[in-house]
Structure 1
Amino acid sequence: MDKLVFVAILAASLLTAWWSRGGRRHDEIHDYFVASRQFGGVLLFFLAVGETYSLGVLTAFPGGIYLHGTTFCIWFIGYVVLAFPVGYFLAPMIWRAAQRYDPVTIADLFRRHFDSRALEILVSLIAILFLIPWGVIQFMGLTMVLQGLGFALPSWILMIAGALLAYTYAAMSGIRAPAYVSVIKDTLLLAAIIVVGVAIFRLPHGYRTMLQGIEEPAFTGRDIRVMVTNILFQASGLFLFPAAVASFFTARSPQTIRRAMIAMPLYMVMFLFLILTAFYARNTFGPGFSPNHIFIDTARQLLSPWLIGLVAGGAALSGLVVLASTCLVIGPLLTHNLLKGLTEKQQKGGAQFISAVYLVASMLGATFAASIAATMNNLTYFGLTQFLPGVLIICFNLRVPARAVLTGLVTGVVIPSVLFLCGVDTDGINPGLTGLAFNITIVAAFALRPGRGLADTGR
């Protein structure tokens, strides 16, 4: 029964993706990648939420609480909550910048504002490279969901099946397919999380078991530094993900974006039930359990088969929608920004090819990843949050030398990457925030040095 419900949900999502075509000209680049900038509040809301609440919510969040307890819980919720006011002000400014420069990708904004081909290439390469860990998270979660549902197949076969579905969504109608499928995904995701939480409450000792899994907070100075720096850094970068920026390009107006941003915190209700599930599992399963399987295995323990199918369907769609949206960002970054002189037909064909390459790279990363999903999440932010100084300069229409932004961006990306790969102990300070501080300092030093004000382009 669970597999039947799961397959029915996936079939419904494919029909929805096909229906989203609506007879439009999807060979036109602006329609395929940014929906001709015609999304209203409802579709923008579901598309933006789809990028914010990915499958990582069901893997990284409960898994992190299972391993690290209250410290991780405060950090994760803190950065998401703080990100919403950041997005409320930043997203409409990005939309206005898009009106000036008519971009398809975030790299277009950098290229056209700073008049720098080198900056366009650098932004494109950073976006592509650091979106691979983001794809790894989705494939790790998809494998977990499918194996938890009882599909006794090797993980690489399950990941290939997920990649084919994500690719199909993207190929059918471009950005419209993830937007429409997100309506189904978000409904099921909320229902699935709430159903599991309610099932725990209905257990004779479920509430007591959950409370026993919560340790009494005793934060050290290091814990506080971890929480504060992670919250500040990741809240600054949540809406700088290329797919999130591209979703702002699809909006009809800045008011449409503001309305979506006001409604998005309503989804925070899911975290209450996820926290309940994570602490219940922490006390029930004990140490040594796979953290990425916490949510789905708790669901299997508590729910009837058809509800397990619903939970698995909502979880799987969460990963598939994010993968499809990311493919629609990766594609034009290569064919539109890195490769020049292609026709629109060649750009679309090339984008579909590089999307397949991206999916394969993410699958390989998921196959060999030795860390939990939360670590992959951190790696993505190390690169993408470094776009912040440049994006703010673009949004405020300031004139700063391109080489200042380029130097700051390179420095900001290299520092956290080296610190992480070399295993350097930063005493609880997020390495990405250190990189961002150097990034901002370099940009400011170039822009404000004597004889060169902010209005001087330096081009």
Structure 2
Amino acid sequence: MILALTLSIVLGTMAGALLYSRRQARARTLADWAVGGRRFGVLVFWFLNAGEIYTTFAVLGISGFAWAHGAPAYLAFTSVSLSATLGYWLMPRIWDAGRRRGLVTQADFFADHYQATWLGVVVGIAGIAALVVYVQIQIVALSLIVRLTLGPDVSPLAAALIAAAVMLAFVYFAGLRSAAFAAGVKDVLMLLVVAGLCLTVAGKVGASSMLDVYRLAQDTHPGIGSFPGLQPEAGMSTTWLMTAALNVALGNWILPHMFQLCFSAGSEATIRRNAIWQPIYSLSYFFIILMGFAALLAGTVPDGGDTNAVLLQFVADRYPPWAIGIFAGTACLLALVPGSVLLLTAGSIFSRNVVLPLRQGMSDRASLLVSRGAMIVFAGIAVWLTLGGSRSLVEIGLSAYAAIGMLAPGVYFAFLWKRAHAAGIFAGIVAGYLALLLPQAQALWNQLLPQWDHGLIAMAIDAAVAAAVCLVWPAKIQAFGHENHIAQT
């Protein structure tokens, strides 16, 4: 029953997504395939953009993080609200630049604004690297669901390969339109599943109500609801919370797939309406953290102590097969939808910003083929990363945010500072990655700024170096066209 229900949900959604994309229009160009023809309205854009709240990172990752650490899982509340606030200002500017200049990818933005094709190549490679790490999150989660439905006899390698193959099939032919439809199905199902679990969870752990689950968790595990949480040695203090939340907020819209989603909106009003309502949508994290605390009270211990599998194990232990099947199928969509968008974005960047500068005059059809082929390669790399590590989904996600944060100063400077130029932005990116990745630098930050998020420190160094180079080495100001959009806004 579990396998049948899971397959019904996944295959039914895939069929609906393909039918929806065919009714809208066939993706004949890279722009149609990658940004949906720039026509998404409020509802579709909501499910693609604000619906990013319901992913495996959020549901499986945050619930497992709450089970393992307690209060540090509150990072989800703060980072989403801060991201939406910043997005209200930033997203319309990204959308306007893309509409006026015909931009498809984030790397297009850098190459066009700074009038440097080579910078677009650098940004494209950096963006792809961050996206592949983020795809790893979805494959880790989807592999766990595959093993839950098919049985533990399925090897981790086989589960990861199945996960990658399904993810590729999900978006391979129809592009962003199919992901938009599936995102709507995913969000509706997840809301129903979370509501159902939360309404019944108190009885599963001996509590009288949902709020009583929090009380029992505090009584049983003192300190779970305050910082630094259940594992003080992890260094997740209030300082960590503030710096990590700020880093996630500053980097959220810099993630290439989020940047590209801004281009898909039909109007500026569509974007602003989403930003207004997104913080309210994030209140659903209350219920996700609740499930993590309930799993702790129930004594749930996933195989190997894997925090990513906590909620899956709790549902498998405490609920009937039909409920497990619905949850597993919905959880599959949580991985498939964002994972497919991530792969689509990485493929678009590779063909348009890495290959095209080397092969001028490549046709739209050839670009589309290169994008689809690159998706397969990037999915394979993500599978390899999945097999090589066992970090929590939250830790992997924070690594992706830290990596992509090195591109953030270049975006903000583009809208705030006319003096910024390509050489300065490149110098900042190099300095930022050195500050983030060098072991000696990490040891220094631990000593000078203990418990600070390293991604935020590296981003600050990136911005400082970029500003210094632009001041010391002036360059001709380049804008998006004859009008200076910065002055207007």
Normalised by the size of structure 2, how large is the TM-score?
A: 0.87
Contact 1:105 1:332 in 2 (8 A): yes
- Give runs of aligned pairs for residues 194-209 of structure 1, distance below 5 A: 194-203=195-204, 205-206=206-207, 207=209, 208=212
Contact 1:382 1:413 in 2 (8 A): no
| C-alpha deviation, 1:235, in angstroms | 1.2
Distance 1:190 1:418, change over 3 A: farther
Using the alignment, how far apart are the partners of 1:65 and 1:423 within structure 2? 27
Q: Partner of 1:395 in structure 2?
A: 415
Using the alignment, how far apart are the partners of 1:387 and 1:344 within structure 2? 27
**Are residues 1:226 and 2:230 paired?**
no
Using the alignment, how far apart are the partners of 2:156 and 2:45 within structure 1? 33
Q: Partner of 1:282 in structure 2?
A: 296
Contact 2:115 2:478 in 1 (8 A): no
Distance 1:226 1:13, change over 3 A: same
Q: 2:315 aligns with which of 281, 299, 314?
A: 299
Using the alignment, how far apart are the partners of 1:232 and 1:130 within structure 2? 18
| C-alpha deviation, 1:22, in angstroms | 1.9
Contact 2:81 2:279 in 1 (8 A): yes
Q: Partner of 1:312 in structure 2?
A: 328
Q: Partner of 2:483 in structure 1?
A: none
Where does structure 2 lack aligned partners over 5 or more consecutive residues? 480-489
Residue-by-residue CA offset, 1:202-253 (whole Å, 9 max, x unaligned): 3472355543333332558971221111111111111221111111101111
**Are residues 1:211 and 2:215 paired?**
yes
Using the alignment, how far apart are the partners of 2:402 and 2:459 within structure 1? 9
Contact 1:141 1:319 in 2 (8 A): yes
Distance 1:421 1:297, change over 3 A: farther
Using the alignment, how far apart are the partners of 1:444 and 1:176 within structure 2? 39
Contact 2:64 2:307 in 1 (8 A): yes
Distance 1:50 1:420, change over 3 A: farther
- Give runs of aligned pairs for residues 16-31 of structure 1, distance below 5 A: 16-19=16-19, 20-22=21-23, 24-31=25-32
Contact 1:211 1:279 in 2 (8 A): no
Residue-by-residue CA offset, 1:63-105 (whole Å, 9 max, x unaligned): 22222221x1232321122111111111111111112321110
Is 22-31 or 237-246 further displaced after alignment? 22-31
- Give runs of aligned pairs for residues 68-147 of structure 1, distance below 5 A: 68-70=69-71, 72-147=72-147
Where does structure 1 lack aligned partners over 5 or more consecutive residues? none
| Letter matched to residue 372 of structure 2 | Q
Distance 1:423 1:196, change over 3 A: farther
| Letter matched to residue 202 of structure 1 | G
Contact 1:56 1:373 in 2 (8 A): yes
Using the alignment, how far apart are the partners of 2:377 and 2:419 within structure 1? 37
Contact 2:2 2:325 in 1 (8 A): yes
| C-alpha deviation, 1:184, in angstroms | 0.7
**Are residues 1:407 and 2:427 paired?**
yes
| C-alpha deviation, 1:182, in angstroms | 0.5
**Are residues 1:14 and 2:14 paired?**
yes
Distance 1:265 1:314, change over 3 A: farther
Using the alignment, how far apart are the partners of 1:115 and 1:312 within structure 2? 47
Using the alignment, how far apart are the partners of 2:340 and 2:440 within structure 1? 28
| Letter matched to residue 235 of structure 1 | A
| Letter matched to residue 83 of structure 1 | S
Contact 2:137 2:393 in 1 (8 A): yes
Q: 1:325 aligns with which of 341, 358, 380?
A: 341
| Letter matched to residue 373 of structure 1 | L
Q: 1:444 aligns with which of 451, 462, 467?
A: 467
Q: Partner of 1:364 in structure 2?
A: 384
Residue-by-residue CA offset, 1:162-185 (whole Å, 9 max, x unaligned): 222221222221110111110111
Residue-by-residue CA offset, 1:133-184 (whole Å, 9 max, x unaligned): 2111111111222223353422222222222222122222111011111011
Using the alignment, how far apart are the partners of 1:118 and 1:443 within structure 2? 17
Distance 1:369 1:204, change over 3 A: closer
Q: Secondary structure at the match of 2:438?
A: helix
Using the alignment, how far apart are the partners of 2:344 and 2:418 within structure 1? 29
Contact 1:331 1:354 in 2 (8 A): yes
Distance 1:112 1:52, change over 3 A: farther
Contact 1:188 1:313 in 2 (8 A): no
Identity between Structure 1 and Structure 2 (%): 22
Contact 1:109 1:394 in 2 (8 A): no
Distance 1:61 1:419, change over 3 A: farther
Q: Partner of 1:336 in structure 2?
A: 352
**Are residues 1:427 and 2:427 paired?**
no
Using the alignment, how far apart are the partners of 2:26 and 2:250 within structure 1? 36
| C-alpha deviation, 1:61, in angstroms | 0.7
Residue-by-residue CA offset, 1:323-373 (whole Å, 9 max, x unaligned): 110111111211111112221111111111110011111111111213222
Give RMSD over aligned pairs: 2.3
Q: Secondary structure at the match of 2:298?
A: helix
Q: Partner of 2:250 in structure 1?
A: 236
| Letter matched to residue 477 of structure 2 | D
| Letter matched to residue 323 of structure 1 | G
Contact 2:436 2:442 in 1 (8 A): no
Using the alignment, how far apart are the partners of 2:417 and 2:443 within structure 1? 39
Q: Partner of 1:66 in structure 2?
A: 67
| Letter matched to residue 91 of structure 1 | M
Q: Number of residues paired by the alignment?
A: 455
Is 154-163 or 357-366 further displaced after alignment? 154-163
Q: Partner of 2:477 in structure 1?
A: 456
Q: 2:287 aligns with which of 240, 260, 273?
A: 273
Contact 1:108 1:120 in 2 (8 A): yes
Normalised by the size of structure 1, how large is the TM-score?
A: 0.93
Distance 1:360 1:122, change over 3 A: same
Q: Partner of 2:484 in structure 1?
A: none
Q: Secondary structure at the match of 2:144?
A: helix
Using the alignment, how far apart are the partners of 1:243 and 1:204 within structure 2? 39
Using the alignment, how far apart are the partners of 1:201 and 1:192 within structure 2? 15
Using the alignment, how far apart are the partners of 1:417 and 1:280 within structure 2? 37
| Letter matched to residue 399 of structure 2 | L
